[in-house]
Amino acid sequence: MAGSEVKGIGGYIEHHLHNNTYELVPGSAFWTVHLDSLVYTLITGLVFVLLFRSVAKKATSDVPGKMQNFIELIIGFINEQVKDTFKGESKMVAPLALTIFVWVFLMNFMDLIPVDVLPALGQAVGIEYMRVVPSTDLNITFGLALGVMLLVFYYSIVIKSPLGYVKELLTHPFAIDNMFAQALIAPFNLLLNIVETLAKPVSLALRLFGNLYSGELIFMLIAVFTLDYAVTELFTTLGGPVMGISQFVLTFMWAVFHILIITLQAYIFMMLSLVYLNMAHEVHDAH
């Protein structure tokens, strides 16, 4: 459990939703690092790199093993999505899409680990708070989204030229042949493009965060519903076995459904990133 000092459903959930933080500037909430989110983000990234590197080193043109088949299936799937979505030319986009999909999936997959296992191990070594799902932390999801947007800005400037990118911001989506009329409508085009640009990372980050955060809460509610907290008093006459079976059944049912959610969210994050990168490579006739 989260600790013997944590009492009640509210205390249990609050404890699990509290990050292990480090204040870079004492007393400042802004300059605070979520150590657990960073550590598990790096761990999942390292797992991705080591796994794919290991399979690549052992890859054979003869009869491949199950792991090689699985990795090739993922790579083939990502390549098809890139071909269908991205119309520009860049050797980096396909590897980027693969990295986004697998890395986000692995971060999401941490949600399938029983909610009390890793926090309990952390408490055993003196770590009071621990959140193990990086994608339930807005700092991580916004960091990923901003990373994608930096690439979008980079390609927009490189492919269209700085002047061409500024011209696009002023002349789209409403383009008029008359130069005077276009100058009048340019501020509205700029405003719409600013709103659209800001909405892209926000939608990327909040969609991933919201879905995984709600999934994490459901696992916690299942735990407090079936373990030794206020709600479980309803089961005291039936004994511990019923509580254990109830938790196993409910957790298993939600976990099976949640596998679809975590995969879908990784796929959506990857596809939207590809769409935004493709838009950055599009050059309009007006340029």
In a domain, 3, yes or no: no
168, amino acid identity? E
**Across the strands, what pairs with 21?**
34
Q: Residue 241: its pLDDT value, please? A: 61
**Across the strands, what pairs with 32?**
23
In a domain, 82, yes or no: yes
Contact assessment for residue 41 and residue 140, using Cβ atoms and an 8 Å cutoff: yes
| Sequence-separated contacts (24+) of 197-201 with Cβ below 8 Å | 197/149, 200/145, 200/149, 200/152, 200/272, 200/276, 201/142, 201/145, 201/146, 201/148, 201/149
Gap between the Cα atoms of 100 and 227, Å rounded = 36
In a domain, 165, yes or no: yes
**Residue 203 catalytic?**
yes
Which of 54, 69, 79, 203 does the annotation list as catalytic?
203
Contact assessment for residue 230 and residue 6, using Cβ atoms and an 8 Å cutoff: no
The domain containing residue 192 runs over which residues? 8-281
Name the CA radius of gyration of the chain, rounded.
Answer: 24
Residues 6+ apart with CB under 8 A from 114: 251
What angle, rounded to 10 degrees, do the helices at 66-85 and 240-281 form? 40
Helix, coil or strand: residue 32: strand
Number of domains in the chain: 1
In a domain, 121, yes or no: yes
Contact assessment for residue 32 and residue 23, using Cβ atoms and an 8 Å cutoff: yes
Mean per-residue pLDDT pooled into runs of 10, the chain (287 residues): 54 85 81 92 96 91 88 95 90 94 96 87 90 94 96 93 92 85 90 94 95 89 64 49 67 86 96 94 66
Gap between the Cα atoms of 104 and 86, Å rounded = 20
As given in the structure block, the two tokens for residue 284 are 């309009």
In a domain, 207, yes or no: yes
Residues 6+ apart with CB under 8 A from 6: 12, 15
Q: Residue 287: its pLDDT value, please? A: 40
In a domain, 1, yes or no: no
In a domain, 63, yes or no: yes
Torsions phi, psi of 21, nearest 5? -110, 160
Which of 139, 193, 207, 246 does the annotation list as catalytic?
207
Contact assessment for residue 273 and residue 86, using Cβ atoms and an 8 Å cutoff: no
Distances (CA, A) of 206 to 8, 78, 103, 236, 276: 29, 23, 17, 40, 16
Torsions phi, psi of 59, nearest 5? -60, 140
Closest CA to 151 of 16, 34, 280, 9: 280
Taking the CA of residue 128 as centre, how many other CA atoms within 13 Å lie in the half-sphere pointing to its CB?
9
Q: Residue 240: its pLDDT value, please? A: 55
State the sign of the Cα–Cα–Cα–Cα dihedral 224, 226, 231, 233. negative
Which of 211, 214, 246, 278 does the annotation list as catalytic?
211
In a domain, 151, yes or no: yes
